[in-house]
């Protein structure tokens, strides 16, 4: 019995000694290091627009029809087009936003006005959006007073 006890005590001393060895800074740092920080590091940063919210946000039937036309254009035509619009937001987004904000008649005028301006000739004075490198021209900038 005493032999077992002495072996047990010896084992206990060894375990305690090893346990008492402090971990080095390097060990601590490596333990704290989390490989999950690298997760999705190579995931492409692609943002896909979901235009259907315009349909849900429609206030009346006319608004809904315009929104439907817009979503159809975006899904069928615009998705296959080259990135040709020189503005941000693009002419189609601008059109639907102004129609929703200012009504069908004024909005349609605004949309045609924007499309007529969608060429590099007349926009040198405009602010350039840093993210897209395009001319920044949101609906809130609409100025109906003659310049």
Strand blocks (E) in the chain: 87-88, 135-136
- For other proteins, the binding residue among 19, 44, 133, 146 (CB under 8 A) is 44
- For other proteins, the binding residue among 24, 50, 60, 143 (CB under 8 A) is 24
Please identify, using beta-carbon distances, which residue of 82 and 105 lies nearer to other proteins: 82
Q: Which of 56, 43, 95, 41 is nearest to 73 (CA)?
A: 95
Q: According to the binding rule CB under 8 A, does residue 41 interact with other proteins?
A: yes
Q: According to the binding rule CB under 8 A, does residue 31 interact with other proteins?
A: yes
Q: Is the peptide bond preceding residue 28 cis, with omega within 30 degrees of 0?
A: no
Query: Could you give the CA distance from residue 11 to residue 73 in angstroms, rounded to a whole number?
Result: 78
Please identify, using beta-carbon distances, which residue of 45 and 60 lies nearer to other proteins: 45
- Determine the 3-state secondary structure of 75 from DSSP: helix
* φ and ψ at residue 82, rounded to 5 degrees: -80, 165
Q: According to the binding rule CB under 8 A, does residue 39 interact with other proteins?
A: yes
- For other proteins, the binding residue among 4, 5, 17, 76 (CB under 8 A) is 76
Considering only residues 86 through 145, tell me which ones interact with other proteins, judged by CB under 8 A.
none
What would the two tokens of residue 3 be?
């032999």
Size of the site for other proteins (CB under 8 A): 26
- For other proteins, the binding residue among 72, 81, 112, 122 (CB under 8 A) is 81
Q: Angle at which helices 91-102 and 61-72 pack, to 10 degrees?
A: 180
Which residues form the interface with other proteins (CB under 8 A)?
24-27, 29-31, 33, 35-44, 46, 76-77, 79-82, 84
């Amino acid at each position: 019995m005493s032999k077992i006890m002495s072996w047990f005590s010896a084992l206990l001393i060894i375990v305690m000694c090893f346990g008492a060895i402090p971990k080095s800074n390097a060990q601590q740092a490596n333990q704290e290091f989390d490989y999950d920080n690298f997760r999705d590091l190579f995931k492409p940063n692609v943002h896909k627009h979901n235009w259907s919210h315009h349909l849900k946000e429609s206030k009346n039937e006319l608004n809904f029809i315009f929104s439907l036309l817009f979503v159809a254009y975006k899904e069928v035509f615009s998705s296959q087009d080259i990135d040709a619009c020189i503005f941000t937001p693009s002419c189609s987004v601008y059109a639907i936003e102004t129609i929703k904000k200012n009504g069908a008649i004024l909005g349609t005028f605004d949309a045609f006005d924007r499309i007529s301006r969608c060429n590099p000739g007349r926009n040198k004075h405009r602010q350039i959006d840093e993210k897209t490198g395009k001319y920044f021209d949101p609906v809130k900038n609409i100025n109906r007073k003659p310049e």
